[in-house]
Chain A
């Protein structure tokens, strides 16, 4: 077989594989979103009592009689269950997430307003966490105490306590940063650090394990035997290996960031997905809860796909037959 023929068949195979990957990822994502919507739909109807009241604030609902009546009509609660269900799915499919009971405006509009704010916060925290994690991993291969301490702290320090302590020190005592978050650089420091620290501890600990393995591996020894310096071994070989498990845990990282956002946004009085979810849960505003849940699940599906791609980029062994 001529070299060109080999290349073309390999490219054809790669294209097919990419297409298959795209389709399965898409199908998996749609399945997850469908399952979340379905679970919430039937979850509400399993709670005893008036489903209209359940949607509009739970058993102790403060909703007015008109609002309840409007909900009954909007959700077709007088109709058979499966008609309601497919009606809800049809609306969700075209992006109609319903009306927020507590905010009295369409859920999609509420989300469009708050998602960017959380995106800024979580994005910054993710970048900071990765940088800190790499630093921690490198540090803890030299000083083993750092590694164990970081691991324990990242597992044991909850976001709310970290945020409180940071406010006590840097706002109340030192007055360096405001206790209320704004989109100014100073206003972002404390919330970003609160989100990034536990995540960095966790990522750093996983990265340290694989960094240590890479540093002691036969390929690192052969690199040193070639005359490579320690920095060279780290930069050219080990760090890539260390990054792999960090990428694989992106789904976990998103979970940490979004749960953290619920706490951080409410402590620092910052508008966003987490705070909206918390107030929606407190008011038992089911349409808004459903909206936030779908956006989060969508973000999860997306980040899993992206991390899968990133893993293939860093480690070409994945996805090859």
Chain B
């Protein structure tokens, strides 16, 4: 705040690895006390940019720039030694996942002390005292004990705070944070972002790197949107968010599901007409096909499940969960990690036997039935997962996977089902030319489309979707969510949709269950739950995610 000299000034930065140029002529400026967010999807070059600013772009990287001034130093003139003096002392770096970014074999105290040892001349006892001070400053309780623990012994939020402590130990002029909250639950992420905001108030400039435009909007003063190694749009926060100029920025904003009513398209609609059965009205809010009067397809009563833990009491993953899923409707289950969402899904799928309670499917016992009795009814209940590739037999091609599913496991020879396979592929928006390919060679979005096609092959009534879009970029997520919407409308499917992402759940669900620590804390029609939350936890979740305001 004292000087106007920028802590980061980059003009025309290019980074290439051999023949591949991954960053093309980008320019960035960060002033003291200011936060610039660099936003882009995977492969956009944002992480390489961040690492280049520290001289850590990696082996074989060729970095060129007209200006590369980092914390007042001309980085292009720095020797190896000079870089080492800069790193940690004048620039603090915070990486995504503190579980892997802190050495799992060393205590967090030692990791933080390293910075002080490398850049300061303070004595051992002074350093130890400073470590405690830092841990306190980032809001860790019982800092003396925390300093002696390893990253594996701390929770995700605590770890990330410890990593931040190591980045700010020398009061650096510039802090670079690469996806600092991506691995965290919403409520924890909000708190960590709050901590980063406080740091900026201390006068440090900050470069915040994220894939999520919405997540950075509350923290950033200005935003740069990056795609394919270029900055496509850059400007003050309000301008970029409210009046985006570049089509890519507009598409990114449109792809975010938050605040979009049910059945609104999130991805740009296809220009070419497709033979896939698509509903006509793309951006309309079509009413749900099913009605609550019908008999529920899936009904759970008093579900409970505990897992034995070595040397301590059983872990109660789920206690007393009730829900009903009606035809052609979507029931969203939202909760943070460890809330029991996936255990609930596995019981609904008949993969786990509940300790108490029961699941009924189409009005008949499901969880209480023997697997041999369930097997004949399984085609009516499909599932898709967060990581589709691991659910495919690695030896099978795309076409063989679908043939296997179409023939109910009788054959993998795609020849006798070639017509159906092409139809299925088109239905999920995949080109039929992909049929002979191994799924491992497909992109993340293509794999999830294939997983949906496989699940649809036996003509199910219900799909259980466990975090179906969590591993995908926001634009791909938008496409997959749109696809799920289309299929629901054209085929009358029912979804049990499980996600940690409140925005996804709100956009996709008719009814919602909010889970915490194995219990349903709130349930009801989605809009009424989200507009008028009754439980304090629901309110906390909403507050943590609605940071745009």
Chains A and B come from one and the same complex: yes
A residues sitting closer than 8 Å to B (CB atoms) are 3, 13, 17, 217-219, 221-229, 232, 236-237, 240-241, 314-317, 320-321
Kindly state the interface size class of chain B when it binds its partner: 35 or more
Q: How far is the CA of A13 from the CA of B312 in the complex (A)?
A: 11
- Of the listed residues A3, A218, A240, the one surrounded by the most CB atoms of chain B closer than 10 A to its CB is A218
- Of the listed residues A222, A232, A241, A316, the one surrounded by the most CB atoms of chain B closer than 10 A to its CB is A222
The residue of chain B having its C-beta at the shortest distance from the C-beta of A229 within the complex is B84
Are A218 and B95 in contact (CB-based, < 8 A)? Answer: yes
Q: A240 with B105: in contact, given A218-B97, A321-B309 (CB under 8 Å)?
A: yes
- Of the listed residues B87, B89, B309, the one surrounded by the most CB atoms of chain A closer than 10 A to its CB is B87
Contacts of B150 in A (CB 8 A): 316-317
B223 on the A face (CB < 8 A):
no
Secondary structure type dominating chain A contacts: helix
Are A227 and B85 in contact (CB-based, < 8 A)? Answer: yes
Contacts of A321 in B (CB 8 A): 309-312
B93 on the A face (CB < 8 A):
yes
Return the 10 tightest CB-CB contacts between A and B, nearest first.
A225-B93, A227-B88, A226-B88, A218-B100, A227-B87, A218-B101, A219-B103, A227-B118, A222-B101, A227-B84
Residue-wise interface mask of B (296-318) relative to A, using a CB-CB cutoff of 8 A (1 in contact, 0 not): 00000000000001111000000
Q: How far is the CA of A237 from the CA of B95 in the complex (A)?
A: 17
Q: A225 with B103: in contact, given A218-B95, A317-B150, A321-B310 (CB under 8 Å)?
A: no
Distance between A302 CB and nearest chain B CB, rounded to angstroms? 25
The residue of chain B having its C-beta at the shortest distance from the C-beta of A230 within the complex is B80
B residues sitting closer than 8 Å to A (CB atoms) are 51, 54, 56, 84-89, 91-93, 95-97, 100-106, 114-115, 118-119, 142, 145, 150, 152-153, 163, 166-167, 309-312
The residue of chain B having its C-beta at the shortest distance from the C-beta of A314 within the complex is B105
Contacts of B89 in A (CB 8 A): 227
Q: Can you show 23 pairs from A to B with CB atoms below 8 A apart?
A: A3-B145, A218-B95, A219-B103, A221-B101, A222-B102, A224-B87, A225-B54, A225-B88, A225-B92, A225-B93, A226-B87, A226-B166, A227-B84, A227-B85, A227-B86, A227-B118, A228-B114, A232-B118, A236-B103, A237-B103, A237-B106, A317-B105, A321-B309
Contacts of A3 in B (CB 8 A): 142, 145
Are B87 and A236 in contact (CB-based, < 8 A)? Answer: no
Are A222 and B105 in contact (CB-based, < 8 A)? Answer: no
Are B104 and A228 in contact (CB-based, < 8 A)? Answer: no
Q: How far is the CA of A224 from the CA of B163 in the complex (A)?
A: 14
Q: How far is the CA of A226 from the CA of B118 in the complex (A)?
A: 8
Are A226 and B56 in contact (CB-based, < 8 A)? Answer: no
Known A222-B166, A223-B114, A226-B166; further 18 A-B contacts with Cβ < 8 A: A3-B142, A218-B96, A219-B103, A219-B104, A221-B51, A224-B87, A225-B87, A225-B91, A227-B85, A227-B89, A228-B118, A232-B118, A236-B103, A237-B105, A314-B105, A317-B152, A321-B309, A321-B311
The residue of chain A having its C-beta at the shortest distance from the C-beta of B144 within the complex is A3
Q: How far is the CA of A227 from the CA of B84 in the complex (A)?
A: 4
Q: How far is the CA of A85 from the CA of B324 in the complex (A)?
A: 67
Q: A13 with B95: in contact, given A221-B101, A228-B114 (CB under 8 Å)?
A: no
Contacts of B310 in A (CB 8 A): 321
The residue of chain B having its C-beta at the shortest distance from the C-beta of A315 within the complex is B105
Q: A222 with B95: in contact, given A13-B311, A227-B89, A227-B119 (CB under 8 Å)?
A: yes
Contacts of B106 in A (CB 8 A): 236-237
The residue of chain A having its C-beta at the shortest distance from the C-beta of B151 within the complex is A219
Contacts of A226 in B (CB 8 A): 87-88, 93, 114-115, 118, 166
